[in-house]
Structure 1
Amino acid sequence: MLPYTGDYTEHIDPEKPSLTFYSFTPRPLMRGDMYQMDDELAALLIEAHRNIGFLEGLVKYAPNKEAFAELMLLKECTYSHMIDYDGPDFKEILTIRGTGKGDITPITNLEMAFKAAKSMEVAAPDLSRICGIALNGESENNPIEVRDHQTFWLGAKTNLKGYNPTAPDSVLPALADISAYLYNDHNTDPLIKAALVHYQFEMIHPFERYNGIIGRILVPMVLRDTIGEAMPLICLSEYLYHNKNEYFDLLRTTQYSGGYVRWIKFFVNAIGEVAKKSAVLMTQYERIVTLDEHRLMEISKSPKSILEIYNYLKRVPVTTITVTERKLGFSFNTVSKLFHSLQGYGIVECHQPSYRNRVFRYSELENLMSAD
C-alpha cells in the first residue's frame, strides 16, 4: 500500500447531480513522518548547506551586494512570472525598466510583494495581502481573499480521482496547518521544511490566481532566518524555469507516488545549485565593478559626478539619458557628457544613436546578469 499523502473528497456537482468529482487535501504537515532520510538526501543537504555557507561568507565582504541583490530580485520576479505566464525575458526586462519603453507592471508588483513578504508571516491574512500586492501593487492595499468555490485542473470536471485543488471549506484549515507546522517544528532541516511548505501550498491552491508565484514567495519567507543576508541573492525561479517540466511533474505526481522524498530531493538540489551559481555570479559581478571603479578613480580628469552615474549603472545597466536625469536629478546635458565619457572609457556602449533616443548599455554587466 502506498504511503498516505492526502485525502480525496467526493463532491456532487450541483449543476449535474449525476456527476461526482473529487478534491484533494494534502496530508497535514503537523502529523509528521512525511519522508525517510536516506544517503542521497543527506548528501544533497550537506552540499546545499555548504553552497549556502560559501555564499553567506561572500556576502559579508561584498561591497556591492545591495546593487547585486537588486538585480537578483528583479531576476527572481521575472523568472517566477515566466514560469506561469508569457512575457518578456530578463534581458528585455532590463531594457524596459531602464528606458521606460514598455510596461513591466507585473514584475514591479512582484518586487513589491517580495519586499513586503520580508516582514510578514506564513499565515492566511498575510498571504492574502501578499497576493493582493503581487496582483495589484502596494498602493491598492487590497488583499485577495482565499477562493470560495471549487476550481478544476485544466477547467474540466471528471469523476476521476485526479488532482483538483483543496475544497473551499478546507482551504483555511490547510493553511493553518502550514502555519502551525512552521511554528512548532524545530527539528526538520529548514530546506526540507521549505520544500514541504511550497508543495502543500501549491496543492491547496488557495487563490484564484498567482498560486505558483505566491508559493515561490513562500520559500524566502521560510528560509529567511536560516539563510539570512544571502537569501536575496538566490534566484530559485530561474532554476525552476529551466527545469519546468520536472518541477511541474513532481508537483503533480507526488500525490500518486505516495511519497514526498523525490520532490524534497529535487527542491534541496535546486537550492544548492542556485546558491552555488549565485556565488559564482556575484564574484564575477564584483570583479567587473571593482576593475571599472578603479579605472574611473585613476582618471584624474573624471568629475566626481561620473561615479554617481556609475553607481546607478551597477543597478540599472541599460538606461537612457532622460531616465537617468530624472532618477539622479542631473541636467540632460550633464548626463549626456558623462555618458559620453563612460563610452570613451569603454564602460558603456551607445545604441539607437538618434540624439534623444540613445540607449546606453553597460554590456559587460548586462550580459553577465542575463546569461542563462
Structure 2
Amino acid sequence: MQTLLDQANQSLGRLDGVTLLLPDPDQFIYTFVRKEAVLSSQIEGTQSSLSDLLLFEHDATPGLLREDAQETANYIAALNHGLAQIARPGAPPLSARLLREVHGRLLQSGRGSQQTPGEFRRTQNWIGGSRPGLARFVSPPAHEVIPAIAALERFIHDEPQATPILIKAAFAHAQFESIHPFLDGNGRIGRLLITLLLCSEGVMRSPLLYLSLYFKRHREDYYEHLQRVRTDGDWESWLEFFLQGVIDVAESTTRTTQRLVAMIESDRQSIHAFGRGAATAHRVHDLAARFVLLGAPQVAEQLELTSPPVYAAIDRLERAGILREATGRRRGKLYVYGEYLAILNEGTEPQ
C-alpha cells in the first residue's frame, strides 16, 4: 500500500509540475472543469456531451438536451463557487457549511431543484430499489446525519490527528457517500469534495485532477468498492482502487495537457505563415484555446475589434483547419477549435 501511495503522490506531483510550464494555466482550467462537469454528471445518468455543454453556454443546445446541459452547467457553478471560497485569503478550512453552499448551487435549477438545495436531509433516503427493504444500501437515519457530518468535518480538519492527504480524500469521499446527507446530488458533491480537499490543502496549484473519468470507466467497481466499505469495512481495497485512480488520471491528464500545449504551439507556427492578418488571427486563436467554442461577436467584444478583421481572421483559421463551424446555421454561427475539442472529448462520450 505504501508503494501505491508513493506512486500516487509522485504522479500528482508531476501533474502539478506541468502547470508551472503552462503559459496560461487558467486557459486549461476552464476546459478541464467543463470536462469534469460532463463526466461527473454522466455518472448520474445525464446524456449531454462536452460539445452539448459548450453549445448550451452559447444558447445553442438542441432542445432535448437542454435539461441535461443545465445540470452540467450547475455543476460548474458549484465547483467554481467552492474553489473561489477556499482560495480567499484567510479562508477557513473546508467545512460542512461550504458543502451546503456548493450543493445549493448544484441544484439551483433543473432536476433536483425541489430536493431542498443547500440543506441536509430530514427524511430517510437509500440507494437502489423502490423502498428501503429492496435497497442496495440504506443510509443512516435523518437524525444521525448532522452528527455524522460533524465527525467527518473533524476528520477533514485533522482531528484528533493528521492524515496524509490522498488517504484523507479517499476516506472522506467514501464516508460522505455513505452518510448520503442530501436528498439528491450526493454523488456529484462527493466527487467535488475530492477536488476541493486537494486544492484547500495546497496539494495542487490548479484544479486539474478529477477522478470522474476513472470512476466512469470503472463504474461497477466504483460502486462495489464503496458498498464493501459499508458492508464489510473493506477500507483497504477501496483505498487501493482510489490511489490507482489518482495515478491513472494524473498521468493521463499530464499527457493530455502536454498534447494540448504541443498542438497549440504547432497551430501558432502555422498562423505565422498567414502573413498579413496573422496578428489578429493569433489573437483569435488565443481565445479559441481558452474557450474552445466561440462566435464572432464574442471575439470582437473580447478583443475590442470591429467585425471585419474578426471575420477575416476566423475565415483564415477555418481554411487552415484550425477552426470549424459547429452549428450549421446561416446566422449566429459558432466556431470550434476542432482538434482541441477532440482531445478533450476522449472518454466523455455518453454511454
TM exceeds 0.5? yes
Q: For 1:361, what is the secondary structure of its paired residue?
A: strand
User: Which ranges of structure 2 fall in alignment gaps of 5 or more residues?
Assistant: 87-92
Which of 164, 173, 178 does residue 198 from structure 1 map onto? 173
Whether the 8 Å contact between 2:39 and 2:213 is mirrored in structure 1 is yes
Q: Distance in 2 between matches of 1:311 and 1:98?
A: 19
Alignment of 1:130-279 (within 5 A): 130-136=102-108, 144-153=118-127, 154-158=129-133, 163-185=137-159, 186-224=161-199, 225-230=201-206, 232-279=207-254
1:59-87 per-position Cα deviation (integer Å, ceiling 9, x unaligned): 11111322111110000111111111222
1:18-69 per-position Cα deviation (integer Å, ceiling 9, x unaligned): xxxxxxxxxxxxxxxxxxxxxxx21211111111111122111111322111
Match of 2:243, as an amino acid? V
Q: Distance in 1 between matches of 2:94 and 2:323?
A: 43
Give the greater-gyration-radius structure (CA): 1
Q: Distance in 2 between matches of 1:197 and 1:78?
A: 23
Whether the 8 Å contact between 1:190 and 1:226 is mirrored in structure 2 is no
Q: 1:236 to 1:170 in 2, by over 3 A?
A: same
Q: TM-score, normalised by structure 1?
A: 0.80
Whether the 8 Å contact between 1:48 and 1:268 is mirrored in structure 2 is yes
Shift in Å, 1:173: 0.7
Q: Distance in 2 between matches of 1:333 and 1:244?
A: 49
- Residue in structure 2 matched with residue 349 of structure 1 by the alignment: 324
Q: 1:107 to 1:307 in 2, by over 3 A?
A: same
Q: TM-score, normalised by structure 2?
A: 0.85
Q: How many residues align?
A: 327
Q: Distance in 2 between matches of 1:222 and 1:235?
A: 12
Whether the 8 Å contact between 2:280 and 2:310 is mirrored in structure 1 is no
Shift in Å, 1:365: 0.8
- Residue in structure 2 matched with residue 310 of structure 1 by the alignment: 285
Q: 1:330 to 1:353 in 2, by over 3 A?
A: farther
Q: Which moved more, 1:198-207 or 1:182-191?
A: 182-191
Alignment of 1:316-331 (within 5 A): 316-322=291-297, 324-325=299-300, 330-331=305-306
Shift in Å, 1:295: 2.9
- Residue in structure 1 matched with residue 89 of structure 2 by the alignment: none
- Residue in structure 2 matched with residue 301 of structure 1 by the alignment: 276
Q: Which moved more, 1:58-67 or 1:212-221?
A: 58-67
Q: Distance in 1 between matches of 2:61 and 2:299?
A: 14
Whether the 8 Å contact between 1:320 and 1:360 is mirrored in structure 2 is yes
- Residue in structure 2 matched with residue 338 of structure 1 by the alignment: 313
- Residue in structure 1 matched with residue 22 of structure 2 by the alignment: 62
Q: Distance in 1 between matches of 2:143 and 2:261?
A: 51
Alignment of 1:33-112 (within 5 A): 41-97=1-57, 100-102=60-62, 103=66, 104-112=69-77
Q: Distance in 1 between matches of 2:125 and 2:224?
A: 19
Q: Distance in 2 between matches of 1:302 and 1:99?
A: 30
Q: Distance in 2 between matches of 1:298 and 1:359?
A: 25
Shift in Å, 1:270: 0.6
Shift in Å, 1:315: 2.3
Q: For 2:41, what is the secondary structure of its paired residue?
A: helix
Q: Which moved more, 1:323-332 or 1:291-300?
A: 323-332
